[in-house]
């Protein structure tokens, strides 16, 4: 039986890609999907062949929002940044998103809602209408669990009272990796499913196909959000420059993907190619090492590409993700304050130690053993 499935996303550039593990299997199983998201994701919906309905705004792109969030991060650290963003900004915008979704879902009632775990407006709208709801972990699941009782639930309480709902609670969650990779304890109702990526992200353009060489290939990307936030660009640009200097010292070939910052990055080393964007999952099948900001999607791309990581978490869930992958033996983690010499040493160590590659291959096998996401099963366990 084909279900009418509503998918929701919040306005962070990588967040639709983070939901491909529920979008892809749902399409393959013949269900009818509609993405309810800010306008920035209209093209992403078209690329995946799903309907698009505008819900919410591109509020994360507002200069004032980015400036304030970046200032909090720089002055007070990542913990304060997370509390401000998820306990204040995200919860403050939930009411507007809920209104859009209530109007849309009242006209056309979905059989199942798959909402980002951080999309509190979608959680609210589904509960108001009594719709089966499952949260898709976009990588922020561990952060939300940590902050739920202290910051997030209290901030959402007034909104829930407005709609005469019980106290806020995270809905049952699916996550695209073994739960213990990122969660120290399993949140209630959380289950792991197999990770998939959109097909168009698995094709590597000829211009980026690496030429045969005895030198290792290192791929560098510090993420879409960190390069898009104007208030963080100086920090991130400086980090890119340090990484590139470290790569020159090691003699590796490298492809550096830096989004809008690419035009500002300069190097005299012909072995380093700087580009704006690449189909990351495709390129990682050719790379020997991935220097990454440790976003959840990027780390799982590395596992499925068979590529060890040097992880340098910047904000949000990233520092915790970097530490988790280091504990799992899938690479090494460094602080943002690491010197180029420390980076070069870490790059050399990971490239020279076969145990990291073996650990990544074992992790990829563990991912492939997880069950595929099934919307009907998810719906049936909720009704």
For residue 232, being part of any structural domain is answered with yes
User: 21 and 105 in one domain?
Assistant: yes
Q: What are residue 73's DSSP bridge partners?
A: none
Cβ pair 81, 231 in contact under 8 A: no
CB atoms closer than 10 angstroms to residue 148: 18
pLDDT, mean of residues 106-125: 97
Element (H, E) at 182: none
Query: Total domain count for the chain?
Result: 2
pTM: 0.93
SS3 call for 203: coil
Q: Check pLDDT > 60 for residue 251.
A: yes
Q: Identify the CATH number of the domain in which residue 343 sits.
A: 3.40.50.2000
Q: Is the pLDDT of residue 223 over 90?
A: no
Q: Do 208 and 181 belong together in one domain?
A: no
Range of the domain at 266: 203-368
233 and 279 in a common domain: yes
Question: What do you get for the CA distance between the two ends of the chain, in Å?
Answer: 16
Lookup result for tokens 């490298």: 254
Host H or E run for residue 309: strand 309-311
- Strand 272-275 with 253-257, pairing: parallel
pLDDT at 188 over 80: yes
Q: What is the pLDDT of residue 212?
A: 67
Please, which pLDDT band fits residue 161 given cuts at 50, 70 and 90?
very high
Q: Is 332 helix (H, G, I), strand (E, B) or coil?
A: strand
Question: What gap in Å lies between CA 318 and CA 335, rounded to an integer?
Answer: 11
Domain end point (choices 165, 193, 221): 193
| Digit-coded pLDDT (tens) for 330-353 | 999 999 999 999 999 999 999 999
Assign 230 a pLDDT band (cuts: 50, 70, 90): confident
For residue 61, give Cα distances in angstroms to 36, 39, 121, 307, 340: 18, 12, 18, 32, 32
pLDDT digit string (tens) for 261-293? 888 888 888 899 999 888 999 999 999 999 999
Same domain, 105 and 145: yes
What's the average model confidence in pLDDT over 113-132?
A: 97
Which helix (DSSP H) or strand (DSSP E) does residue 91 occupy?
Answer: helix 90-92
Given pLDDT bands bounded at 50, 70 and 90, which one contains residue 1?
confident
Q: Are 236 and 264 in contact (CB under 8 A)?
A: no
């Amino acid at each position: 039986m084909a279900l009418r499935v509503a998918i929701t996303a919040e306005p962070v550039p990588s967040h639709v890609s983070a939901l491909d593990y529920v979008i892809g299997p749902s399409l393959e199983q013949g269900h009818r999907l509609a993405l309810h998201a800010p306008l920035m994701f209209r093209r992403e919906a078209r690329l995946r062949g799903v309907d698009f309905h505008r819900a919410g705004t591109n509020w994360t792109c507002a200069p004032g929002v980015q400036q304030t969030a970046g200032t909090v991060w720089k002055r007070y650290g990542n913990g304060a940044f997370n509390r401000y963003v998820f306990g204040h900004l995200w919860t403050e915008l939930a009411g507007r998103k809920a209104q859009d979704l209530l109007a849309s879902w009242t006209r056309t009632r979905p059989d199942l809602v798959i909402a980002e775990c951080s999309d509190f407006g979608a959680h609210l709208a589904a509960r108001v209408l009594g719709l089966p709801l499952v949260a898709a972990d976009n990588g922020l699941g561990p952060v939300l669990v940590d902050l739920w009782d202290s910051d997030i639930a209290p901030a959402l309480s007034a909104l829930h009272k407005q709609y005469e709902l019980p106290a806020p609670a995270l809905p049952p969650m699916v996550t695209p990796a073994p739960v213990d990779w990122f969660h120290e304890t399993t949140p209630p109702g959380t289950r792991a499913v197999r990770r998939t990526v959109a097909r168009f992200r698995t094709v590597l353009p000829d211009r980026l196909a690496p030429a045969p060489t005895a030198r290792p290939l290192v791929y560098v990307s510090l993420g879409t959000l960190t390069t898009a936030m104007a208030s963080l660009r100086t920090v991130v640009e400086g980090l890119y420059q340090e990484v590139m200097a470290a790569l020159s010292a090691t003699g590796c070939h490298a492809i550096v993907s830096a989004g809008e910052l690419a035009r500002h990055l300069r190097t005299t080393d012909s072995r380093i190619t700087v580009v704006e964007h690449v189909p990351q999952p495709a390129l990682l099948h050719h790379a020997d090492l991935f220097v990454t900001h440790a976003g959840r999607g990027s780390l799982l791309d590395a596992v499925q590409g068979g590529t060890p990581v040097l992880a340098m978490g910047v904000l949000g869930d990233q520092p915790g993700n970097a530490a988790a992958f280091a504990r799992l033996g899938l690479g090494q983690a460094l602080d943002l304050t690491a010197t180029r010499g420390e980076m070069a040493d870490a790059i050399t160590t990971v490239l020279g130690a076969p145990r990291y590659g073996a650990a990544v291959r074992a992790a990829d096998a563990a991912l492939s053993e997880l069950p595929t996401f099934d919307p009907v099963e998810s719906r049936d366990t909720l009704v």
